Amino acid sequence: MLEATGVAAGYGRKRIVHGVDLAVGKGEIVLVLGHNGAGKTTLMRTLFGLLPAAEGTIRYEGRDIAGRRPAENVADGIAFIPQGHGIFRTLSVRDNLDLGAFVEPDKSLLPERLDTVFRMFPILKERASQIGGTLSGGQQQMLAIGMALMHAPRLVILDEPSIGLAPNLVDKVMEAIAYINRTMGTTILMVEQNVKYSLPIASRVAVLKTGRKIYDGPPDPLHDRVELMKLF
């Protein structure tokens, strides 16, 4: 579904990602692990089009998407949930969800999608008129995921959805991600630091170290703490 080959990217002259290959198959949950500064966020932002790729090719469903603007990628079924506050903090929960479907040309589909989001996260329905920035961290993350679902993406790229959340909430967020993948067939590409909670839902894992990929394969060997420590 998504195939990146030899992608290099960075900020200004500073190169952070060096020639990374990454393939995400349809229906997979691909987990990207790595320590701080390994280039995980930079890679995700480049794949989504927020940063230009200095080198390499990015193909999505067979089409070359390197150099496309985020707006085009969103319209083509890719959603990106950034690290931290992936919401509009001064707007209401409902306005946020409506904006999530900004690129959807067929507005008649929205009530049903809104229903799906509310069924998945009932707290968002309760707080529909509350200002986004006043929600708790976990609720903000649910809202960010809900916004992405409002335009029914085929691929969701998540950048550390567990950051700053209490362990029980991390578990809930991971459950929601697995549920979306299972019931809607949405392909997931997710960056995480929280190995304990993210590894169980992954179908494949890539590990980055100082901007290079050092592991790509099934998650099972990484359940072994010693194997994992070797990679970090």
Partner 1 sequence: MDLVLQLLVNGVINGSHYALLGIGFGIIFGPTRITHFAYGPIFAVGAYGCWASVAWLGLPVPAAALAGVLAAAGVGALSYLWLYRPFERRGSSHLVVLIASLGLFITLENLIGIVFGTDTKVVPGLSPDIFLWGPVVVTSIQLWQVAALAGIALALFAFLRRSRHGKALMAMTDNGEMAQIIGIDTVRVSLTAFAVGSAVAAVPAILILLKEGATPHMGFIAVFMAFVAVIVGGIGSFRGAIIGGYAVGIVENIGMWKLPTEWQSTIAFVVLFLILLFKPSGLFGRRVR
Determine which residue in the list 25, 37, 67, 90 makes contact with partner 1, applying CB under 8 A.
90
| Total residues interacting with partner 1, rule: CB under 8 A | 26
Residue (100 or 211) nearer to partner 1, CB: 100
Measured CA to CA, the distance from residue 38 to residue 159 in angstroms comes to 13
Tokens of 146: 């809900």
Which among 55-63, 66-74, 117-125, 201-209 is the span making contact with partner 1, rule CB under 8 A?
Answer: 66-74
Q: Pick from 67, 70, 185, 200: which binds partner 1 (CB under 8 A)?
A: 70
* Rounded distance between C-alpha atoms, residue 112 and residue 108, angstroms: 8
**Alpha helices, DSSP H only, in 49-206?**
70-75, 93-100, 110-120, 122-126, 137-149, 167-184, 195-198
89 near partner 1, judged by CB under 8 A: yes
The mark string for 16-55 relative to partner 1 (x by CB under 8 A, - otherwise) is --------------------------------x-x-----
176 contacts: CB under 8 Å, gap ≥ 6: 120, 121, 142, 145
Q: What's the CA gap between 158 and 79, in Å, rounded?
A: 8
Answer for which of 1, 74, 189, 208 binds partner 1 (CB under 8 A) is 74
- Axis-axis angle for helices 167-184, 137-149 (nearest 10): 10
Query: Smallest Cα–Cα separation from 50: which of 25, 31, 26, 68?
Result: 68
Task: Count CB-CB contacts under 10 A for residue 84.
Answer: 13
Q: Does 102 bind partner 1 (CB under 8 A)?
A: yes
In the complex, least distance from residue 146 CB atom to partner 1, rounded to whole angstroms: 12
Report if residue 80 touches partner 1, rule: CB under 8 A: yes
Residue closest to 46 by CA, chosen among 164, 184, 211, 192: 211
**What mask of x and - would describe binding to partner 1 in positions 127 to 156, judged by CB under 8 A?**
------x-------------x---x-----
Of 189 and 201, nearer to partner 1 (C-beta) is 189
Taking alpha carbons only, the member of 17, 83, 87 closest to residue 47 is 17
In whole angstroms, how close is the CB of 99 to partner 1 at the nearest point?
5
For residue 94, the minimal CB distance to partner 1 (Å) is 12
Binding site residues, partner 1, CB under 8 A: 12, 48, 50, 69-71, 74-75, 80, 82, 85-91, 95, 98-100, 102-103, 133, 147, 151
